[in-house]
Amino acid sequence: MELYKLTIHEALDLLDRLEVSAVELTQALLDRIVDVDNKVKAYLTLTPEVALHEARQADELRLRKVKGALLGIPLAIKDVICLAGLPTTCGSRILESFVPPYDATAVARLRRAGAVFLGKTNTDEFAMGSSTENSAFFTTRNPWDLQRVPGGSSGGSAAAVCAGEALGALGTDTGGSVRQPAALCGIVGIKPTYGRVSRYGLVAFASSLDQVGPLAKDVRDCALLLNVIAGHDPSDSTSLDVDVPDYTQSLRLDLRGVRIGVVRECFGMGVQPGVASAVRQALQVLADLGAEIAEVSLPHTEYALPAYYLIAPAEASANLARYDGVKYGYAAPDAKDVWEAYRKTRQYGFGAEVKRRIMLGTYALSAGYYDAYYLKAQKVRTLIKQDLDEAFAKFDVLLSPTSPTVAFKIGERTVDPLQMYLSDVFTLSQNLAGICAISLPCGFADELPVGLQISGPPLGEEIVLRVAYAYEQATEWRTGKPPLDEKEN
């Protein structure tokens, strides 16, 4: 048995029966990383000694009958989330040497649950991108085809889970950055409701949109991870003070009485035929499970992209003002005064996409343009949210493709920023409205994974997980494995 292929729940069963130790499991993952990460390039930082130390501790605790929801489970953390004592680069030169002295709350909760940390995964710089090509360090490869992107911005986390280099991972999702890479890598990723998971220790991108979410091989694993990381945190004033249910309790096999709305607008808008047909076939499976399926219109869908690409850069331009070369990060040497120090620090420290968004956001917020761009986008955000509120009055969940296309080739969309932004066209409304959504595999097009997106109302994680689980268990997509070992790419 190859331990790296296990799901989290399978590994927990073996660990609890003492058939496998956390050290053996962690070593298997580390060996796998040595075997494939030179091709996949999912990790920015690896910490094998720390991981083995944590695994030994987990084994000792288990022998002493100490419980932990993830005791001995090796995970990867996206490099925009702080893990004490390890570099947190955000895929940026400006934070290349930054070592946070504290854990993010989501990481601290995983730690308390007994998780083992393998390392930090690659990301588009400051999570701005859809392919990891905006990382200042390198581009992560899609394990299904090494010439293609893994999606982004949590592409390192998605590729690591997909390639068997971690049993699960944390990502972040500001406009699809958990769901789109999950879709492109053929795994499961959930963006929780805004405020469901604390963002303390997450490096801020767009504060009204950012949310931490898990990526894993199946829906049950996502539920297990969400159980641990969700919940109120006094250190994040936007975290919701609402009890966290046991999400595994919502995993059921039938969908009788569940009302599913299929978003009509999501089948135009540049959707590849193979993607559309995989999603349509999923509808039949869901109907056979007892779900009531009907079409629904979200008339403002096409406005989500332009609204998002004003709001997110505006918030980013404010958040990234903190990179001034004083408190942490890169500082330009030899500046003659404070203004030149700022300009040179930021000129060298930020990459092209981050600069583009700072410029766009600053423009949209600047005197004379605020009403026409930023305020207008916020009003359109209200319309998008109203569409969803109305839809959720009639339906329990909404269904669409996660991304209009399968994984695209490296370099294919880097010339034209708008082309890259279109990767996120179906995953932006959920962040703008603050609702939850999951992506899970629903087939293949051109031998590449297709993602099915199931969106739920605020705090609707249980129904979203239920529908995803029933669908997953009725199909065989989750057993597909990337051809990393079989063929040389």
Distance of CA 223 to the CA centre of its chain: 14
Does position 375 interact with other proteins (CB under 8 A)? The reply is yes
CB of 397 to other proteins, least distance (A): 18
Fill in the per-residue mask, 310 to 329: x = in contact with other proteins (CB under 8 A), - = not in contact: x------x---x--xxxxxx
Phi, psi for 51 (deg, rounded to 5)? -60, -45
Fill in the per-residue mask, 213 to 252: x = in contact with other proteins (CB under 8 A), - = not in contact: ---------------------x--xx-x------------
Catalytic: 177? yes
Positive/negative CA dihedral, 392, 393, 396, 399: negative
Positive/negative CA dihedral, 245, 248, 252, 255: positive
CB of 127 to other proteins, least distance (A): 19
Nearest to 439 by CA among 140, 165, 158: 158
Does position 304 interact with other proteins (CB under 8 A)? The reply is no
Q: Kind and range of the H or E element at 158?
A: helix 155-162
Catalytic residue among 177, 239, 439, 455: 177
Distance of CA 22 to the CA centre of its chain: 26
Cβ-Cβ contacts under 8 Å for 150 (sequence gap 6 or more): 42, 131, 132, 140, 141, 142, 143, 156, 158, 159, 162, 181, 184, 185, 407
- Taking CB under 8 A as the binding criterion, the range among 9-17, 266-274, 341-349, 391-399 that sits at the site for other proteins is 341-349
Does position 200 interact with other proteins (CB under 8 A)? The reply is no
In the bound state with other proteins, the residue whose beta carbon lies nearer, of 17 and 327, is 327
| Residue 489 to residue 220: CA distance in whole angstroms | 31
By CB under 8 A, what part of segment 117-156 binds other proteins?
Answer: none
Does position 392 interact with other proteins (CB under 8 A)? The reply is no
Q: 211-227 as b/e, with b when 16 or more CB fall inside 10 Å?
A: bbbbbbbbbbbbbbbbb
In the bound state with other proteins, the residue whose beta carbon lies nearer, of 111 and 466, is 111
CB of 197 to other proteins, least distance (A): 14
Does position 418 interact with other proteins (CB under 8 A)? The reply is yes
CB-CB contact of 117 with 126 (8 Å): no
The size of the interface with other proteins (CB under 8 A), counted in residues, is 67
Catalytic: 92? no
CB-CB contact of 79 with 127 (8 Å): no
Q: Which member of 80, 110, 216, 433 binds other proteins (CB under 8 A)?
A: 433
Positive/negative CA dihedral, 272, 273, 276, 281: negative
Q: Which member of 179, 196, 220, 344 binds other proteins (CB under 8 A)?
A: 344
In the bound state with other proteins, the residue whose beta carbon lies nearer, of 58 and 240, is 240
Cβ-Cβ contacts under 8 Å for 183 (sequence gap 6 or more): 151, 189, 401, 402, 403, 439, 441, 449, 450, 451, 453
Catalytic: 217? no
In the bound state with other proteins, the residue whose beta carbon lies nearer, of 186 and 313, is 313
In the bound state with other proteins, the residue whose beta carbon lies nearer, of 393 and 418, is 418
In the bound state with other proteins, the residue whose beta carbon lies nearer, of 17 and 339, is 339
Where in the sequence numbering do the catalytic residues fall? 78, 153, 177
